[in-house]
């Protein structure tokens, strides 16, 4: 289980407020790094998203030091980092929020296995949202028995094509 994830954005406070709205959670300053914020749904899993200013990089500490924060003055606008997140709000509410923020939003089918709502935070960072109407199909596909069957079928198909 992933309990928290850190992502870099241009406006950490604003993005935290929007994500908290989608998650129906709370926003708080992230004490480890100035100008950063956390979104907390206040669930039993201790889930949170840390929003750091774009350009912030986590680098290893020296010897026994913890992770250090450094600022990259020339960061890319894009990243391979993304997350799929269940939210308690509807697709209509997601679309209304995306429209208000002028962020790209699109419902996507993932090769017939499940659907997600792609929300492009600040039009640079992908978050796949799973509102209540589509989350069950994702969870069904990700169920351990279903995944084992899927992986077995993939292995068989790969053997046949080799």
Residues 85 and 160 occupy one common structural domain: yes
Reduce the DSSP state of residue 57 to 3 states and report it: strand
Residues 93 and 151 occupy one common structural domain: yes
For the ranges 35-49, 76-90, 92-106, the lowest mean pLDDT is seen at 76-90
Residues 109 and 150 occupy one common structural domain: yes
Question: What are all long-range contacts of 146-154, with beta carbons under 8 Å and residues at least 24 apart?
Answer: 150/113
Residue 87 sits in which domain range? Answer: 81-162
Instruction: Give Cβ neighbours of residue 100 (< 8 Å, ≥ 6 apart).
Output: none
Q: Name the nearest CA neighbour of 47 among 35, 38, 55, 34.
A: 38
Residue 75: band (very low, low, confident or very high) from pLDDT cuts 50, 70, 90:
confident
Give me the pLDDT at residue 37, please: 97
The count of structural domains within the chain is 2
């Amino acid at each position: 289980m992933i309990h928290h994830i850190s992502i870099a954005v241009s406006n950490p406070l604003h993005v935290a407020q929007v994500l908290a709205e989608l998650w129906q959670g709370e926003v708080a300053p992230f004490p480890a790094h100035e100008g950063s914020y956390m979104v907390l749904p206040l669930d039993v899993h201790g889930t949170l998203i840390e929003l750091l200013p774009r350009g912030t990089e986590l680098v290893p500490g020296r010897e026994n030091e913890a992770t250090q924060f450094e600022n990259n003055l020339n960061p890319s606008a894009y990243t391979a980092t993304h997350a799929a997140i269940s939210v308690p709000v509807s697709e209509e509410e997601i679309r209304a929020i995306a429209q208000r923020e002028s962020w790209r939003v699109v419902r996507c089918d993932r090769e017939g296995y499940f659907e997600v709502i792609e929300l492009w935070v600040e039009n640079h960072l992908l978050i796949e949202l799973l509102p209540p109407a589509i989350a069950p199909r994702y969870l069904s596909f990700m169920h351990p028995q279903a995944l084992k069957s899927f992986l077995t079928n993939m292995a068989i198909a790969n053997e046949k094509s080799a």
